[in-house]
Amino acid sequence: CRAPRPTGSAPRINTDQMGFVGYSMGGYAAFHAVKSLPEVNASVSIAGTPCFYQRWKDVLLECSTYLRWVEALKKVEQETELRSAFILEMDPYQQMIDDFPTPLLMICGDVDPVAPKKYLLDLYQQINEAHQPDPGDLKLSVYDGIDHQLTLAMAEETVDWLGEVLNR
């Protein structure tokens, strides 16, 4: 998005240095922004899941292991299929691998149950493999002993990293 520029004055936003930072659900939005907003020149996801579709499938699998939920899941199979298709359509995961477009910092806690680091490790590995020998500005930071939270150290790393990549 571009802010309106008043006639005869300096721009209020330098879109050449626009970054997107999100935490939790906003962390997922940070992945989505990389693929859908060309104005975004760098993105930081903190405690965000990069793959809603895989997470959705994992939740469905987990639910199916609870005997008391099996019957309820059977009753909504058609609705579940529709929702699965919708989630797959908006999921940026494969696009991130195929066309890694812009600097990306992924930050997570190593014991986060909401956005498990496994999803970020998989994405990091797949982007690296797809874009060898140079995956570009891709960084993954895992914070030991941290669950689903935003810490001061994470915020400081975000600011430092954005300053570095946006001011080149």
Which residues are within 8 A (CB) of 88 and not within 5 positions of it... i.e. 6 or more apart?
A: 53
CA distance 105 to 128: 13
pLDDT (0 to 100) of residue 1? 45
pLDDT (0 to 100) of residue 88? 94
pLDDT (0 to 100) of residue 4? 53
Could you give the C-alpha distances from 165 to 91, 103, 105, in angstroms and in order?
25, 7, 10
**Alpha helices (H) in the chain, listed in sequence order:** 25-36, 52-64, 67-75, 77-90, 93-98, 117-130, 152-166
Q: Which ranges of the chain have pLDDT less than 50? A: 1-3, 5-6
Cα 21–Cα 37–Cα 12 angle in degrees, nearest 5: 70
Enter the pTM of the model.
0.84
* Structural tokens at position 76: 């909504």
pLDDT in tens, 46-69: 999 999 999 999 999 999 999 989
